[in-house]
Structures are given as C-alpha cells and as structure tokens.
Amino acid sequence: MIRLEKIDKYFGENRVLNSVDLQLASGNVTALIGPSGSGKSTLLRCVNLLEIPESGSLQVGDQRLEFSRDHKPPREEVLTIRRRTGMVFQNFQLFPHLTVRQNVMEGLLTVQKWDKEKARVRADELLEKVGIAQKADAWPSTLSGGQQQRVAIARALAPSPEVLLCDEPTSALDPGLAAEVVDVLKQLATEGMTMLMATHDLRLAATIARDVVFLNNGVVIEAGPSRDIFMNPSQPETERFVSTLTHSLPDAWTERG
C-alpha cells in the first residue's frame, strides 16, 4: 500500500529524517514510536505531503513520486496523494463555526463536490460508527476532547481514504477520554483499515499495531512485528525505550485477542 524509500527531510540545516525506508501492507496497522523530536510526526506528514521531502520516493498504491531539492512534484499529484489519505491530528482541528455533522460533511461538499443530502447521510453513518451520532447537531466547543477526536476520525474517514494517518491521536486526552478513541481505532483495525500512527502511547501501539517502527534522531533504529519489538528488541536503544511498558504487554495482547 505505502512505500517510502531513502526519505530525507530538513528544516533549515536540521536533518529531521535521515534516509528513512518504510513499507506498509494493505490492511495493516503500523505504529511509529520514539522519543520526542525523533521525527515521527514529520514522517507521518511526509506520507500525505503536508511536508515535502528533500529527497527519496513515496509510493501510495500505484502512484509513485520522486523528490529532490531541484524537483518538487506537481501540485495535482500532491493533491491526488492527499485524497488517498485521511489525517487525524493531535489537537482535533475541528472547524469551530460548524456543527459536528457539518464538520464531517465539509470536505465531501467542498473538495469531493458531493450532493448535500448524500454527504449528510455519509456523515450520519460515520458519526454512528464512532459512537457520537447523538451529538450531530452540537458545536465542537460543547464536546469533550475524546468526543472531538472521534468527530475528527469520522471526518478523516468521510471520503473513504485508502490509508488513515493518526498523529498522536490520544496524547491530548486524559486516560478516560483516550479510551474512547482507542476503542474506535481498535474497531477500525479489526475491520482492516490501513493505518499509520505516530504515538507516545506504547500501550496503544502494542494493543492495536501489528508492526512497529522505532525512530530516533530521524533514523529507523528497528522495525518489525510489535511483539518482537516490545518483547525481544534487537537494538539496545529500542530496549531502553520500550522497557517502561514491558511488564504490561501480555495484557495488551490479550486485549487484542
């Protein structure tokens, strides 16, 4: 589904991603883990080209783009990639002047040019799916953080993206509200949604992700099945990073079933 090869990204003179390779299979959930500043969110944003790499290549499905300092991909090709991906942001990014239903409908109406009634039906279906249909006519400011994030997930799913990208989907929430969001993500994973998530929440990664990629200083230190990364990491850096969660991992995998 997704392949990144030799991705480099700079902010000024700071090399944030260093020759990163990443592959995601269709229907798989992959978690990006690592310390703050390791490049997780930047790598996620390179997948849907909110950030344009300085070099390397990106393939989503049958579409492949090459990057270099002297060549930026055409805008239409960038927009095509973005249409194939849905993005869930850390801080929800809901439109405050639109109701919950209107937030989910907005992209369908303005970007996809859907008929209004068709968009309304789609929005209501997704709000039911994420367990917040009763708030369809509410304003975002009246919702809890967990409810707002569930609306954000519904909005990202509205155009039926091939890949769902989640940037720290639970980090702005307290544990009780985070559990609401985790339940929705677990349901999507069970249904076979292809997902790539950047997260500090190692328990979330262990519970939902099949594969884990450990980044540090913009370099992929280790990647593989989540059970191997958490229970038997091959690199000392990985072992130190995941050690805080090791004692609770059996329970996390029991929850996965």
Ordered DSSP codes for 23-58: EE-TT-EEEEE-STTSSHHHHHHHHTTSS--SEEEE
Q: What is the pLDDT of residue 206?
A: 87
Which helix H or strand E contains 220, and what residues bound it? strand 219-225
User: Does one domain contain both 66 and 101?
Assistant: no
Same domain, 210 and 102: no
pLDDT of residue 203: 84
Cα distance between residue 228 and residue 233, in whole Å: 6
b/e 182-191 (16+ beta carbons within 10 angstroms → b): bebbbebbee
**What average pLDDT score do residues 83-90 get?**
90
Q: Are strands 29-33 and 55-60 parallel, antiparallel or unpaired?
A: unpaired
**Percent helix, percent strand, percent coil in the chain, to nearest 5:** 40, 25, 35
- CB atoms < 10 A from the CB of 116, how many? 10
Of 104, 137, 160, the last residue of a domain is 160
Judgement on whether residues 16 and 139 belong to the same structural domain of the protein: no
Whether the pLDDT of residue 168 is over 60: the answer is yes
Provide the whole-model pTM. Answer: 0.89
Statement: residue 255 has pLDDT above 80: no
- Is the pLDDT assigned to residue 24 strictly greater than 80? yes
| SS3 call for 71 | strand
Q: How confident is the model at residue 249 (pLDDT cuts 50, 70, 90)?
A: low
Are 63 and 131 within one domain? Answer: no
> In the prediction, which pLDDT does 248 show?
55
Q: Which whole number is the average pLDDT over 62-68?
A: 92
The structural domain count of the chain equals 2
Residue 134 CB partners (closer than 8 Å, separation 6+): none
Asked whether the predicted pLDDT for residue 164 surpasses 70, the reply is: yes
Side chain identity at 7, as an amino acid letter? I
User: For position 53, what pLDDT does the model report?
Assistant: 95
Residues 68 and 97 in one domain: no
Q: Please tell me whether residues 70 and 114 are part of one structural domain.
A: no
Spatial separation of the C-alpha atoms in residues 83 and 78, rounded to whole Å: 9
**Of 134, 160, 186, which residue is a domain's last?**
160
Least-confidence region, from 4-13, 172-181, 234-243, 246-255: 246-255
Distance of CA 5 to the CA centre of its chain: 19
pLDDT of residue 90: 85
The reply to whether 135 and 99 lie within a common domain is: yes
CA–CA separation, 115 vs 217, rounded Å? 46
Which residues form the domain of 119?
A: 93-160
If asked whether residues 232 and 117 sit together in one domain, one would say no
Asked if residue 170 and residue 150 are part of one domain, the reply reads no
Judge if 22 and 107 occupy the same domain. no
Tens of pLDDT, residues 172-204 = 788 788 888 888 999 999 999 999 999 988 888
Domain identity same for 75 and 181: yes
Position 251 confidence tier, pLDDT thresholds 50, 70, 90: low
Q: Does residue 133 have a pLDDT over 90?
A: yes
Same domain? For 137 and 209 the reply is no
Question: What tens digit of pLDDT does each residue of 220-229 get?
Answer: 999 999 999 9
| 29: CATH | 3.40.50.300
Structural domain ending residue among the three candidates 160, 191, 219: 160
